[in-house]
Amino acid sequence: MPDGQWVGRAPGRVNLIGEHVDYLGGTVLPCAIDRFLTVRGRPAERWTVRSQVQGALPYAEALGEELGCPPQQLEVESTVPPQAGVSSSAALLVAITAGLRPEWSGEKAAVTCQRAEQRATGVQVGVMDQFASALGRQRHALLLDCATLDYCLVPFPEELLIAVLGSGVERALADTPYNLRRQEAESGHLKRLRHVESELSRVAQFASALRAGDLRQLGSLLKASHRSLRDDFECSTPQVDAIVERAWSAPGCLGARIMGGGFGGSIVALLARASEAAFSQALVGVPLLLCETADGAYAGRAGRP
């Protein structure tokens, strides 16, 4: 562990497909994105955080307990927008871990950060966000088996951009039925399991379509994923559905779906490069973040937890 000042940096993430399957040990397909959070720290008498990311202190304190490290004074700079569905919390935790434990493998860092987020929020989050932030690679998606933590990189087409759309519905997952949906899926609820099983099939098909460069299939799978999340997992909202349907009909959009825990939050869409202006015009009034894939904090540093 550094004795003096240290720096850690980690990206946000987008989950292309594989929603509400990570905590059930399913396979997911996220990627790190080119929005980064940088933490500068040094030992202190107590944990303090200076940041525009609100609520960061409980995360840092929880991570300190997981790492078994003394208190630190942290300064955070970030281009990962908070409450935009791109996992600023995972980026914060992974960045701190990268600064304090740079010798760790990405897998070990991700699992430790997952435990810290569960401790800080009371939400039983899966491990996907932390893995993507730690081990994502530029121009690739990360196909991750959340049961075994085995993963492989899947090429991401250069002719595509990732768009993240804000629904305007802000919520803390702890204040939504997120944990209830998880419990229902784990206990064998018919509709929840129907989503899980169909989504796992879509993940495999999506990875194959990425490898084959089948852009039309990518769009079809995103649309099918949203319908499943809306109808079987029941974690969408009318406001989200309306934005998704606007995106589906916008110029250059292959497909779009609700992303993350649901009940508001964000929508992910894939766009043909050079269609950004027309797409933005069609979605006027909707917050839009255009992203590309990026390297994670521990990119290329494999190992076991």
Quick one: 31 exposed, middle or buried, by C-beta within 10 A (0-12, 13-18, 19+)? buried
Neighbours of 300 (CB within 10 A): 9
Check: CB of residue 12 under 8 Å from CB of residue 32.
Answer: yes
Please give the C-alpha separations between residue 262 and each of 221, 237, 241, in angstroms, as whole numbers: 18, 8, 11
Query: Which amino acid would we find at residue 150?
Result: D
3-state SS assignment for residue 19: coil
Return phi, psi of residue 80, to 5°: -85, 110
Largest separation between any pair of C-alpha atoms in the chain:
56
Please give the C-alpha separations between residue 54 and each of 34, 57, 59, 89, 223, in angstroms, as whole numbers: 21, 8, 11, 10, 33
User: Is 129 one of the catalytic residues?
Assistant: yes
CA 141 to chain centroid, in Å, comes to 12
Selecting among 129, 145, 175, 231, the annotated active-site residue is 129
Of 14, 17, 226, 207, nearest to 129 by C-alpha is 14
Query: Which amino acid would we find at residue 289?
Result: L
Instruction: Tell me the catalytic residues.
Output: 129
